[in-house]
Structure 1
Amino acid sequence: MSAISPDNQGLRLAVRYAVLVLIAIIFVFPLVFMVMSSLKPDQQLLADTSSLRAFLPVGDVGLNNYTAAFERAPIGLFVFNSVLVTGLTVALCLLVCSMAGFAFVYLNWRGRDVILSVILATLIVPFETIAIPLLLLVSKLPWIGWEGVTIGWLNSYRVQIIPWIADALTIFLFVQYFKGLPRELIEAARAEGATWFQIYWRVVMPLSGPVLATAAILKFLVMYNQYLWPLIVVQQEQYRPVMVGLQYFFQLNIAWGEVMAYLTMITVPVLAFYLALQRAFIASIASTGVKG
């Protein structure tokens, strides 16, 4: 077979980069439109949507929409609530689901495969079918806090966190990843007298960076974008997350510039979280497990 000429290699590389740049532009355009629109008054914003001016900082631009958005809604409180709820849920979910995945892969116990199948079957159950039963449940559950024993979890952080600290998709990700780890590592650790928890914490988890990053990003997006469940269980403003706070901007007259400013501000934590885990996330895509 003849070797590929340098000219052909350069052409293929140019085409590849052109396709990647085109894909990047398609994904970035909505973000650019959102940021540029947040800097413009409503009349100019609506007028510019019919041309490329919508993606450019032209005309009467400024930060007035951001100031007005803060006056209309307690944005800092909403962002804090979402970051707190999402951060705690992601941390607890990674711990619980990774331990569950470890138990399903490495421990032999009766009914293991049946229970895993039942858990995975819940993926096809839409949340809307269990929302009302779950609401009735959390409204009657007791809670021990600083004020003593109280009944009901409504209007609290716990009602937004505890029901979501485990889910079938995250367990499935850990199960599939753990199956790809070399069994020799586990057998060697057992031969050295390590307990199962020591194997989980000191052997398996240090090798699970890619799946941890993947699961964390997917869980972060789900929790940060939650709307229906917080809308049902939270009526007090002090516990509302960012997506429920969006309704403040659709009351009476809609100020689209303020809406864009609000969306820009609540997007920042998502981008920051992704960029923090970007390297591990990319590694999770390229990795197929640890080779023995």
Structure 2
Amino acid sequence: MPSRTPETRATSLFMRYAILVLVALIFVFPLVFMLVSSLKPSMQLLSDTSSIRAFLPVGDISLDNYTASFARAPVALFIFNSIFVTSVTVVLNLVICSMAGFSFAFLDWKGKDVMLSIVIATLIVPLETIAIPLLLVVNNLPWIGADGIEWGWLNSYRVQIVPFLSDALTVFLFVQYFRDLPRDLIEAARIDGASWFQIYAKVIMPISGPVIATAAILRFLAMYNQYLWPLMVTQSEQYRPVMVGLQYFFQLNTDWGQVMAYLSMITVPVLAFYLALQRAFITSIASTGIKG
């Protein structure tokens, strides 16, 4: 079989990159449309959707939609609430689920296979089926606050955080990753006299960056995009996240320019979080095909 000439290799490389650029553009187009539309008045935005002008910053371009968005709703408060609730939940979720995954993967205790099966089975149970019973539970739980014992968790950050401190998918990700690690690490640490918690904290977790990044990204997206549960448990805008805040822009007259401006602002934390973890996330995806 004749070897390929430099011209053939260059053509093949060009076609490969052309396809990759085309695929990237397909995914980028919605973001470009959203950003460009946020700079246009509502009537111009709607008229431009029938042509390529929808993706071009042409016409009456300004930041008026952004200033109007802040005047229409407490946008900064909504973004802060979502970032705070999501960040706290993700951190605590990773700690709890990684401990559970460590127990399922390395410790020997009676019934752990049955328990793991039950945990994984909860993946098929949607939040909508347990939302009402869960609402009744949190509405009657006590909480020790600055004013003493309070009853009911509604209109608070804790009601948006505590019910989601663990989930089956994150536990499953940690279990699968931990099971692929060499057992020699555990045996060597045990011979040196390390406790199980020391092995978890000082041996296993420092080499678990890929699964931590993967679980963090998936959990961040799930929490940041929550709508139903925050809508049910937060009647005060003081605790409402960005997805519930979106309904402020559909009350009375809907201004699509302001809607796009609001969507552009609430997308920034998601992109920033992903870009911060993309290296570990890509490493995690690549390592799924490598078995030692």
Task: Tell me the TM-score normalized by structure 2.
Answer: 0.97
- Contiguous gaps of at least 5 residues in structure 1: none
Measured against aligned partners, the alpha-carbon deviations of 1:181-228 in whole angstroms (never above 9, x if no partner) come to 111011000000000000000000000000000000000000000000
What is the RMSD of the two structures over their aligned residues, measured on CA atoms?
Answer: 1.3
Residues in 1 aligned to 2:11 and 2:198: alpha-carbon distance in whole angstroms: 53
In the aligned structure 2, how far is the partner of 1:168 from the partner of 1:132?
20
Aligned ranges 1:93-242 → 2 under 5 Å: 93-242=93-242
* Change beyond 3 A, Cα 1:289–1:189: farther
SS in 1 for 2:238: helix
| 1:10 equivalent in structure 2 | 10
- How much does 1:6 deviate? 2.9
Taking structure 1 as the reference length, what is the TM-score of the superposition?
0.97
Partner of 1:38: 38
Q: Deviations over 1:229-272 (max 9, x none)?
A: 00001101100000000000000100000000000000000001
Task: Work out the percentage of aligned pairs sharing the same amino acid.
Answer: 72
Shift of 1:2: 4.6
Do the aligned partners of 1:39 and 1:64 also contact (CA within 8 Å) in 2? yes
C-alpha displacement of 1:18:
1.3
Residues 2, 289 of structure 1: alpha-carbon distance in 2 compared, 3 angstrom cutoff: closer
Whole-angstrom distance in 1 between the partners of 2:79 and 2:189: 44
279-288 or 44-53: which moved more? 279-288
Using the alignment, how far apart are the partners of 1:127 and 1:66 within structure 2? 33
The 1-side partners of 2:201 and 2:4 are apart by 49
Q: Secondary structure at the match of 1:169?
A: helix
| Counterpart-to-counterpart distance in 2, 1:260 and 1:219 | 25
Q: In structure 2, give the amino acid aligned to 1:199.
A: I
| Distance of 2:256 and 2:56 partners within structure 1 | 17
Once the two structures are superposed, residues 81-132 of structure 1 have per-residue CA deviations (whole angstroms, 9 ceiling, x without a partner) of 0000000000000000000000000000001000000000000111111110
User: Which amino acid is the alignment partner of residue 264 of structure 2?
Assistant: T
Which secondary structure does the structure 2 equivalent of 1:238 belong to? coil
CA deviation vs aligned residue, 1:20-68 (integer Å, no higher than 9, x gap): 1111000000000000000000110000000010101100000000010
Change (3 A) 1:161 1:289: farther
CA–CA separation in structure 1 for the residues paired with 2:187 and 2:290: 15
Gaps of 5+ in 2: none
| Secondary structure of residue in 2 paired with 1:265 | helix
Q: Secondary structure at the match of 1:277?
A: helix
Aligned length: 292
